[in-house]
């Protein structure tokens, strides 16, 4: 069974756009640059952001530009995923590295006064495979001139792994329901600016309605006055 390579250009957006400005714009947009800013960087100077945004939108709707942006974004995501997987693999290798794998037993020669003994000594670096050598942070010379491998700190690697997976991370970001009116408007304006969108925020939030009660001339609540005349007459009857 043979697997043929997909020729360049068969995947939409895989080939660079021949028009240099369009290719530059697609690469800027793939880097998450707002439309207005990307459109200006390719040589279009607009006094009004709305006009720049409209023309940038028209350009981005072209199949060549749209497919090129999508392809570049996907490529960047795949490269990021590959790098992340490589970092993760390296961290776990450091965390699970066994120092015993870097030493070996050997038997000393017997003499007339001492019998042979089984001792431990560090392996030669040339005897270690490349993956094992990558897990060595440093080497130190002992009194006999041998190179003693020093592995990465398990405590530090554990901290790096927890940070990698965001374990125990505390965020200061507040929920949108906890924002004040001014903070909410400022956040919406900032997001609109990053997206290159113009929105009108010239409005105010209505204050909460207060319960209004009508009072009479004596300050008593209307509709709540109790007539005690009948009750007095009843009490005075024999």
**Both 190 and 141 in a single domain?**
no
Domain annotation covers residue 164: no
Tens digits of residue pLDDT in 154-207? 999 999 999 999 887 665 565 666 677 777 777 777 777 777 666 666 655 556
Q: Which residues contact 65 (CB under 8 A, 6 or more apart)?
A: 17, 22, 25, 26, 59
Question: What pLDDT score does 223 carry?
Answer: 47
Q: Is residue 26 part of a domain?
A: yes
Q: What's the pTM value of the predicted model, to 2 decimals? A: 0.55
Domain match, 31 and 77 both: yes
For residue 41, pLDDT over 60 is answered with yes
Same domain membership, residue 87 and residue 105: no
Domain count along the chain: 3
Most confident of the ranges 169-178, 205-214, 217-226: 169-178
pLDDT at 46: 87
28 domain residue, yes or no: yes
* Residue 167 covered by a domain: no
Q: Are residues 83 and 134 in the same domain?
A: no
The pLDDT value recorded for residue 56 is 94
Same-domain check for residues 87 and 36: yes
Region class of 219: left (phi > 0), else alpha (psi between -120 and 50), else beta: left
Has residue 61 been placed in a domain? yes
Helix (H, G, I), strand (E, B) or coil at 6: coil
Rounded distance between C-alpha atoms, residue 231 and residue 139, angstroms? 103
178 in a structural domain: yes
For the ranges 21-25, 112-116, 154-158, which has the lowest average pLDDT? 112-116
Q: Considering the chain, what is the average pLDDT of its residues?
A: 81
Q: Are residues 74 and 139 in the same domain?
A: no
Say what the pLDDT of residue 8 is: 55
Residue 45 within any structural domain of the chain: yes
Give a yes or no: residue 144 inside a domain. Answer: yes
Do 82 and 69 fall into the same domain?
Answer: yes
pLDDT at 67 over 80: yes
91 and 66 assigned to the same domain: yes
Q: Take residue 24 and report the two structure tokens written for it.
A: 């530059």
Quick one: average pLDDT of 22-38?
Answer: 93
Same domain, 87 and 70: yes
Answer yes or no: do 105 and 129 share one domain.
yes
- Residue of 69, 73, 77 whose CA lies nearest to 16: 69
Q: Are residues 43 and 72 located together in one domain of the fold?
A: yes
Same domain, 111 and 144: yes
Instruction: Find the domain containing 31 and state its range.
Output: 20-95
Which is more confidently placed, 63 or 182?
63
């Amino acid at each position: 069974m043979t697997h043929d390579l997909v020729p360049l250009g068969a995947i939409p957006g895989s080939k660079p756009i021949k028009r240099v400005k369009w290719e530059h714009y697609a690469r800027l947009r793939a880097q998450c640059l707002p439309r207005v800013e990307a459109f200006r960087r390719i040589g279009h100077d607009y006094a009004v952001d709305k006009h720049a945004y409209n023309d940038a939108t028209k350009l981005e709707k072209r199949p060549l530009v749209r497919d090129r942006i999508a392809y570049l974004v996907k490529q960047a995501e795949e490269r990021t995923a590959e790098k992340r997987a490589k970092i993760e693999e390296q961290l776990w290798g450091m965390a699970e590295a066994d120092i015993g794998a870097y030493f070996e037993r050997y038997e000393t020669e017997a003499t007339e006064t001492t019998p042979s003994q089984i001792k431990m000594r560090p392996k030669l670096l040339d005897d270690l495979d490349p993956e094992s050598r990558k897990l060595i942070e440093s080497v130190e010379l002992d009194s006999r001139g041998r190179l003693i491998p020093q592995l990465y700190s398990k405590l530090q690697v554990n901290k790096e792994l927890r940070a990698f997976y965001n374990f125990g991370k505390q965020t200061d970001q507040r929920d949108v329901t906890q924002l004040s009116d001014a903070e909410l408007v400022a956040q919406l304006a900032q997001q609109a600016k990053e997206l290159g969108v113009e929105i009108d925020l010239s409005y105010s939030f209505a204050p909460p309605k207060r319960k209004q009660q009508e009072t009479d001339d004596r300050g008593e609540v209307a509709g709540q006055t109790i007539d005690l005349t009948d009750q007095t007459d009843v009490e005075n009857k024999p």
